[in-house]
Chain A
Amino acid sequence: MTTLAQNPINQYSRILSYGASRGNTIVPNDDLVEKIDSSDEWIRQRTGIATRHRADENQSVTDLAVEAAKDALHNASLTGADIDAVICSTITHPFATPSLAVLVADAIDSRCPAYDISAACAGFCYGIAQADALVKAGTARNALVIGVEKLSDFIDDTERTISFLLGDGAGAAVVSTSDSPGISPTVWGSDGSRFDTVGMTHSMLEIRNRDFVAHPVQEGEKIWPTLRQDGPSVFRWAVWEMAKVAKQALETAGITADDLGALITHQANERIIDQMVKTLKLPETVAVARDIVDAGNTSAASVPLAAHRLLQENPELSGKFALQIGFGAGLAFAAQVVVLP
């Protein structure tokens, strides 16, 4: 009986490097407050955000993704020829197809498999889960994961629930084979019953048909999907439900909060981070990523951008455990413990 050949499996994987690219314009709160009848103080008090990076018309979502990808490759001392898969998480690539990932693969001179995933703010951690599985299954030696958003293309400047939080950027990671465990099993999931809690205002078909029951479209009015959220409801879920997921990720990894070197949450709102730290009863020795203060909320890009910065500012964290957790529209979430490169 002939049997099918299988790839030799790899026992372990790890994150070999992170890379980053930030929007080329720094936007302070004062530039946004007039249109939402607010103030710098109000935004800082409710979100912790002082500025956000945004990309101007000369910096596309592809530019951000490629720059972060190349930075991660450089930091791993690899080239495109070494990469066996490219996974992009984005909700702001303006084509339903082809994917953004194929453009990134092309830009690094690779013809490897490349595809996008849609898991919004959980997307980078979803991507790490997939890359971890590809590497361990022997499907890839090195996989490139990119979380990238140009959210400023999908906001309404007059909207008060989420637009002022948002920034643009890309973060990337190379996931590779390893001699020792470097990525724990991912705790992940979704809750589609809460599809409307955070997301786009309208479907593409509604826009094509100019068919908004709640908001009749005026002749000549520009229409475009933008982001909205039920902030308090998302806050409650993001803190208390995600704290349970974070605890589960630690248990699954076989460690406790005392073993952590860093907590890298999705950078949605600094008050979510503060409350999660409190709820998890993290010891003061754990470094907590707070990139949000001057980068804003960059959805899929926020976890790798925060990780990249934390390592730049605290190189002694290399080799330590970090709990990274992403959560957002879907309501999708994913958490894993990684050994920082």
Chain B
Amino acid sequence: MASKEEILAGLAEIVNEETGVEQSDVQLDKSFTEDLDIDSISMMTIVVNAEEKFDVTIPDEEVKNLKTVGDAVDFIENAGK
């Protein structure tokens, strides 16, 4: 089971690989669209890669609720329990 910190670090790697955003900029309070300028298609790529990395399922309808990096970290943490 990954800790919140491990999930954040893993997510930052994925975001960096897909978008080029610096890993240090991927913080819990950052909005994917407003702060990190990630569009809906890149978001789906990040979600699929996160599913694989953390062995969780993130349904399409849930993706719309993942507004901030913190939302995604919380979802992955709870989905992995």
Contact = CB atoms under 8 A, between A and B. Distances in A.
Interface in B35-81: 39-41, 43-45, 47-48, 60, 63
Contacts of B47: 236
B48 A271 contact: no
A39 to B, nearest CB: 14
A89 B39 CA distance: 33
Contacts of B63: 232
A235 interface: yes
A206 to B, nearest CB: 24
- Please indicate which of the listed interface residues B41, B48, B60, B63 has the most CB atoms of chain A within 10 Å of its own CB: B41
Query: SS class of chain B's interface: helix, strand, loop or mixed?
Result: helix
A271 B39 CA distance: 12
Given A236-B48, A239-B45, 16 more contacts: A45-B39, A46-B39, A230-B60, A231-B40, A231-B41, A232-B43, A232-B60, A232-B63, A233-B60, A235-B40, A235-B41, A236-B44, A236-B47, A239-B44, A240-B48, A269-B41
Interface residues of B, number: 10
Contact of B41 (A230, A240, A271): A271
B43 to A, nearest CB: 7
Nearest to A240: B48
A159 to B, nearest CB: 16
Contacts of B45: 239, 275
A233 B58 CA distance: 12
Interface string A204-244: 00000000000000000000000000111101100110000
A240 B44 CA distance: 10
Nearest to B43: A232
Contacts of A231: 40-41
Nearest to A47: B41
9 contacts: A45-B39, A46-B39, A46-B41, A230-B60, A232-B40, A233-B60, A235-B41, A235-B44, A239-B44
A221 to B, nearest CB: 30
Contacts of B40: 231-232, 235
Interface string A255-279: 0000000000000010100010000
